[in-house]
Amino acid sequence: MADSSVSYKCPNCGAPLSFLPGKKTVTCEYCGTEFEVSAIEELFRDKQEMAVQAAEAQEAKWATEDAGSEWTSDEAKALHAFTCSSCGAELVCDENTMATECVYCGNPTMIPKRFDGMLKPDYVIPFKKTKADAVAALKEFYKGHMLLPSNFTANNRVEAIQPMYVPFWLFDSKITAQADFRAEKHHVITTPKEIITEVSVFKCRRKGIMSFERIPVDGSKKMDDTYMESIEPFNYSELEKFSAAYLTGYLADKYDVTAESSSARADRRVENSAIEVLQSSLENFDAVQLEDAAIKKDVGQVSYAMVPVWILTTRYNDRPYTFMMNGQTGKVVGSLPYDKTKAFLYPALCSLVLMPILYFLIITLT
Amino acid sequence: MKKFLSLLALFLLINFSVAGAARLDPVTDKAKVLKPTEIELLNQKIRGVEQKHKIKIGVAFVKSLGGQDIIQASDDFIDDNFANGKNGGIVLLVDMESRKYEMSTDSRMLNIITDSHGIPHLKDSFQSDLSAGNYFGAVNNFVGGVDELMTYYETNGIAYGQRKPGEIDPMAAMISFALAIFGGVMIRSTLIGSMSNVHRAKEATDYLQKNSVKFLENRDTFLFMNVQRKPRGGSRSGGSGGHSSGHGGGGGSF
């Protein structure tokens, strides 16, 4: 039976191939041979076609052969089995997995069937940060947090560390923005007897055009939107045309949130920024308040990209803590636990020090 | 013409020559609101207090200040006539036309009869008599109040209303306690907030093409103007302005 997955193996020595962070080529870590991305694509095209057919054959008989109990339709839809082309083990993954690694032999595995029926990504930002970079960045992230429990770093073990290409929609838009502001100019006149403040009130209308390029919005339900917004920004000068070869050695998901569903998040951000730009022209006023705004999208384009993210999971007091690192820039985001005793003692100490200082200031000033 | 005469009278009153200052009685009644016997009694009482505490006290009733600022007039009045007391001087100037009064203290007296506590205490002692038209009683109580405050200072070594060294001001202590607790809560919330850098992105400024921004309309329409007037704060209490440098005091209307 043909394999339903494709392992990118070195044509020279047969070892698994990986796209190493920071390199332009696919490299065999064992014999050191380097391959151009286009050469790898050519080499494995036939294998991918075979794997697609094999996967279709397996899917056709899915959910009817179970000897125990029937899969529910939801389970059957979500779970899929593939055979590892390296060791023959059966891999189970969810419906969005495009690339993974075999849990038995660790072989990087692509699932080409998953590329069908969905859009092919336009771009990919290749990984630049390695696993060692991610672990070092996480340790650096722990530093400088006064409330971090003392034994968090001592007893802390990185339970899981996974590099993943996350599907992102990149929104380009050209807009016309119009806003009305109520603005005030204050003029203070001081006489020997009184302080006179003249407040001149204006209605200010601002209208302008502007363009935004590649506002990223993640297209994966699995990934927390707030985390994905926190690891921004990305350096788009390193954006590459998509090739499946970049995914070798990494986990990769295809999108399960459509561009249409994601667009509201991009629109919200564009609207806020557009108003900020218009308001920036009112710097000569002393107080400005937005009254009304209208944003019209003149041109809106979307592209689909795979973005590199390191996912690090640690455990403390039986609770998992997940951190994410931008695989391109190395920016780490996450929420750390805090020591409740420290959270009480430090501010209390500050209050005790502040109290006599404030008392002295009040006595001196009154 | 009437106004000119009033101004002339005021000028003569508050700009007495230095040589003439020695001859000026403590009580001057240009407004004719006191009987001669009352003036004599008050002069005697004031001289007694002056000798007791080595200070100078002046009281003047005028028909009108002719538009001159009462605070400035009271400062001039003390500087020209009652500024040579060993322990300081204080004057009370009453303008019958505007029904305003003003006390002025010199640089030594303002540390004994303070603007924050001493002057309000004096006001409380005579303002009701002024309002009731009992001018003799008002001056009598004013002088009695000065005597009381000077005695307090000489007995306790501190001005009336001031705390003894080391004594805690309960109000300041409460305010500093509340502010310190508030500061602690803010520090706690900042420290806890710093444990996470996961935040929603609110704008897309990083992705704005700066050179694509082009303004099509810039229109500012003037709607209206609001004018807010606030009296200037100063060392005095209850008046409409501040005493000149080296003076304290306070006043009000009756």
Residues A200 and A113 in one domain: no
Same domain, A185 and A327: yes
Instruction: List the structure tokens of A267.
Output: 């629109």
User: How many domains, chain A?
Assistant: 2
What's the whole-number mean pLDDT along residues A89-112? 64
ipTM passes above 0.90: no
Return the minimum-mean-pLDDT range out of A156-165, A313-322, B138-147.
A156-165
Q: Is A343 a domain residue? A: no
Mean pLDDT of B187-195: 94
Residues A184 and A58 in one domain: no
Segment B29-36 mean pLDDT: 91
Please say which residue of A91, A117, A143 terminates a domain: A117
Domain ranges of chain B: 2-162+237-245
Nearest CB to B205; choose among A197, A273, A352: A273
Q: How many CB pairs under 8 A join A and B?
A: 194
**Structural domain range at position A212:** 131-335
Report the predicted TM-score, pTM, of the whole model to 2 decimal places. Answer: 0.61
* The pLDDT of residue A250: 83
A92, A146: one domain: no
With an 8 Å Cβ cutoff, is B205 touching chain A?
Answer: yes
Average pLDDT over residues B158-172: 84
pLDDT tens per residue, range B210-232: 999 999 999 999 999 999 888 87
- A188 and A296 housed in the same domain: yes
Structural domain includes residue A49: yes
Q: Are A74 and A62 in contact (CB under 8 A)?
A: no
Provide the angle, in degrees to the nearest 10, between the axes of the packed helices B135-156 and B36-53: 10
- A154 and A290 both lie in a single domain: yes
The CA distance from A189 to A195, in Å, is 6
Record the tokens describing residue A98, joined without a space: 């495009």
Residues 261-320 of A with CB under 8 A from B: 266, 269-270, 272-273, 276-277, 281
A363–chain B Cβ distance below 8 A for any pair? yes
User: What band does B186 get if pLDDT is binned at 50, 70 and 90?
Assistant: very high
Question: Do A207 and B221 make contact, defined as CB atoms within 8 angstroms?
Answer: no
Looking at beta carbons, which residues of chain A come within 8 Å of B174?
A: none
Q: What is the pLDDT of residue A41?
A: 73
Residue A123 lies in a domain: no
Confidence band of A365 (pLDDT split at 50, 70, 90): confident
pLDDT at B88: 92
Is residue A90 very low, low, confident or very high in pLDDT (cuts 50, 70, 90)?
A: low
Same domain, A58 and A145: no
Residues A252 and A305 in one domain: yes
A235 and A99 together in one domain: no
- Inter-chain residue contact A226 with B175, CB threshold 8 Å: no
Give the pLDDT of residue A63: 35
- Report the pLDDT averaged over residues A154-181: 87
Per the model's pLDDT, the better-predicted residue between B182 and B244 turns out to be B182
Residue A27 lies in a domain: yes
A139 and A102 co-located in one domain: no
Phi first, then psi: what are they for A97, rounded to 5°?
-70, 125
Q: Does A172 share its domain with A304?
A: yes
Domain spanning B2-162+237-245, CATH class: alpha beta
Q: What is the pLDDT of residues A118-136, one digit of tens each?
A: 577 889 999 999 989 999 9
pLDDT of res. B49? 93
Task: Provide the shortest C-alpha distance from residue B110 to chain A (in Å).
Answer: 15
- How far is the C-alpha of A56 from the C-alpha of A80, rounded, in Å? 11
Mean pLDDT (whole number) for B141-162: 91
In this complex, do B214 and A232 lie within 8 Å of one another by their Cβ atoms? no
Q: Is residue A234 part of a domain?
A: yes
Residues forming a β-bridge with A335: B196
Task: Please check whether residues A249 and A160 belong to one and the same domain.
Answer: yes
Q: At what angle do helices B70-81 and B2-14 cross, to 10 degrees?
A: 40
Nearest-10 Cα torsion for A183, A185, A186, A187: -160
Q: Tell me whether residue B163 is exposed, middle or buried, using C-beta atoms within 10 angstroms of its C-beta: 0 to 12, 13 to 18, 19 or more.
A: exposed
**Which of B176, B186, B207 is the mutation pick for testing A, counting most A CBs within 10 A?**
B207
pLDDT at A273 over 50: yes
pLDDT score of B18 more than 50: no
Q: 3-state SS of chain B: helix, strand, coil percent to 5?
A: 45, 20, 35
How far does the CA of residue B39 sit from the closest CA of chain A (Å)?
A: 34
Q: Is B19 on the interface with A (CB under 8 A)?
A: no
Q: How far is CA A94 from CA A66, A80, A165, in A?
A: 18, 6, 15
pLDDT tens digits along B78-92 = 998 888 788 999 999
Euclidean distance between CA atoms A211 and A207, whole angstroms? 14
In a domain, A165, yes or no: yes
Average pLDDT, chain B: 85
Residues A330-345 pLDDT 10s: 999 999 999 999 999 9
A221 part of a folded domain: yes
Would residue A62 count as lying in a domain?
yes
